Structure formats: C-alpha cells, structure tokens
Structure 1
Amino acid sequence: MTRPGKDRNEPAPVSVADRITEFEESGFGRLLGLHITEARDGYARVEMDCEGKCNPHGVAHGGAIFALADHAFGIASNCGNVHRTAVSVHIQYVAPAKGRLVAVAERVGSNGTCETHRVTVYEGERIIAVFDGVAFRVSP
C-alpha cells in the first residue's frame, strides 16, 4: 500500500486548520497584521486594520489593500489539498478607506486546472476594492 507523502513523492494532505496556521504565521501576513477569520476550500475572510498602512493623503495605501485581497485569494485557493499559484490578478479600487478592512474571497469558477476567485474588500458595508484572481493548479 502506498501512502501520500511517503512512497509516491506526493505531499501529505494538509488540514484546513494547518493551512490557515501557515498563512496566519507567514512573515508577510504578520508584517501587515492580516488576520484570517474564516477559511475553507474556495473561501476566505481576512481582516486588516489600516493604521500604519496609509499613504500621504491619510487613507489606506493601495499596496496594503492589494496585499489584503491577494492574501485572501491565496488562502481561498489553497485551503484544499491542491497547491495553486496565482497567474493573473486585477484590482479595481472603488473608494478610499481608513479603518478596519475585510476581504472576502470566493471561488467563482474552475475548470480543473485554473480557478477564478473574486475578492471584495469592505470597510463596514462599503466596498473599497474588487480583486479578480486566477490560480493555476501546480500539484495534485
């Protein structure tokens, strides 16, 4: 009998809880104060406070908003037992923000090789940005 990760050079399955911990403890996520509040295969919800991440105009820096959305995208596309990497992303900034932001990532399509996710970034009920990402399957 072959065992994943032992006999066929396949990675051992990683639990959703372990995957969340990996993302939660990543250096970049900690640097920006990103906090995962919910995640499962194809879905993630991540929060970030804008304090210390503002541009000279006193609103959240576009790079910080992008990083929040990208982090949620990465989690949603990697919470299963398939490793995916981003191949294309696009963000549209809708409104400036100053407070606590929430990024909600949801899988909106899949063809087995690529998945498309839509990430909406909110400040309260107000939409701040919309991010679309395509992730390519790189392992079983």
Structure 2
Amino acid sequence: MEKSGHRSPEDAGPTEVIDTAESTRSEPSTGVEPSTGAAAMFANDRASQHLGITVDDHGPGWSQCSMTITEIMTNGHDITHGGYIFLFADTTFAMACNYPGSITVASGGDIDFLKPTYFGDHLIARGREIVKQGRSGIYDIEVTRGEDIVAVYRGRSRTLPAPQPTTADASAQPTTSP
C-alpha cells in the first residue's frame, strides 16, 4: 500500500500497522527528540511500558496503541481487571492529547466495559479528539479485540500553562560585558 500524506488510524485496515517513523513527525527532524508532546511523555512512562503497551502511531489529536493481556492482568474471575483496561485507554488518550510544545494532563476520564477480555487477548485502542477549546479538550477512545469493541473511554484534558521563567533561569542567561 502506498502512502499519500498524513494518515490517521481510521485510514488503516484492522490489522495494518502504520509506519510511526513517518507519521509521528510533527516538526522537522533536528536529530534531537522534543522534550514535550506524546513521544517525549511516553519515553518516560514507565507504567505503560511495564505493561507492554506500545504506541503504534499518533499525531496531533489522535493515536493508536496496542497491548496484550498477560496473566498478571487477570482478576479472580479469570477476566482482565478493569483497571488495566482503563490504564490502557488512558495511555492512548494521553498520546492523542499531548501535542508537541505542550504538556497536557487528564482532568477526568470515564470508561464503559462492554465485553470481558482474557489472558492472551491482543487489544487495540484508537483515540481521537472530539473537541479542543482553549486549554481544554475531550477525546474518545475505543478499545477493540479483533472486530469486537470491548470498552469505550471518554477523557477530558487540560493543557498546562507554559512554565514561567524562574530567577534561576534568569541568572543562567548569558551576560554581555561592556
């Protein structure tokens, strides 16, 4: 399949993996990884990485992540503990709402569990921005197992204001000598 411009997860087939090296680039490559945005945040997200969550693709306002249910994620009914599904959806939400140049956090999130999942199930979560107004946003995440929708999540985001320079920052400014 030939690529033509930027594509969102909705453009991909159900099992197609989109090349993240091309589509996640939102700024010209400088050889230095940006310190903000989804890629920078995920690089330091030890919880999501520990659970084996992968970011398949993302861009401003959308994302797709994958996770396989491990034995440790199951509860006493031998189904996936809902907290793991919530965390998976929440990570996908974070990838969709963290634009380069900003730091965005969740102000709230709700999930509806529609079908149980089990040890060994491979899940895919697709998130998309519904609305963004000022520093607030609403995002919907759909968690699927194959063709089945197993959970839907709605996240509310808040972008933090840009950090203000501190006196330590001001003193680090180069001075010119007369």
User: TM-score by structure 1 length?
Assistant: 0.82
Structure 1 segment 53-132 matched on structure 2, within 5 A? 53-98=73-118, 99-132=121-154
**More strand by proportion, 1 or 2?**
1
Please, which runs of 5 or more residues in structure 1 have no aligned partner?
A: 1-12
Q: What is the total number of aligned residue pairs between the two structures? A: 127
Q: In structure 1, how many angstroms separate the alpha carbons of the residues matched to 2:151 and 2:38? A: 26
Q: In structure 2, how many angstroms separate the alpha carbons of the residues matched to 1:92 and 1:116? A: 16
Q: Check conservation: 1:39, 1:79, Cα contact below 8 A.
A: no
Which has the bigger relative contact order, CA under 8 A and spacing at least 6? 1
Deviation at 1:69, TM superposition (A): 0.2
Root-mean-square deviation (Å): 2.0
Deviation at 1:85, TM superposition (A): 1.0
Which segments of structure 1 move beyond 4 Å, counting only runs of 4 or more? none
User: TM-score by structure 2 length?
Assistant: 0.66
Aligned to 1:3: none
Please, which runs of 5 or more residues in structure 2 have no aligned partner?
A: 1-32, 163-178
Instruction: State the secondary structure of the residue aligned to 2:84.
Output: helix
Instruction: State the secondary structure of the residue aligned to 2:79.
Output: coil
The 1:47–1:24 alpha-carbon spacing in structure 2 relative to 1, beyond 3 Å, is farther
Deviation at 1:101, TM superposition (A): 0.7
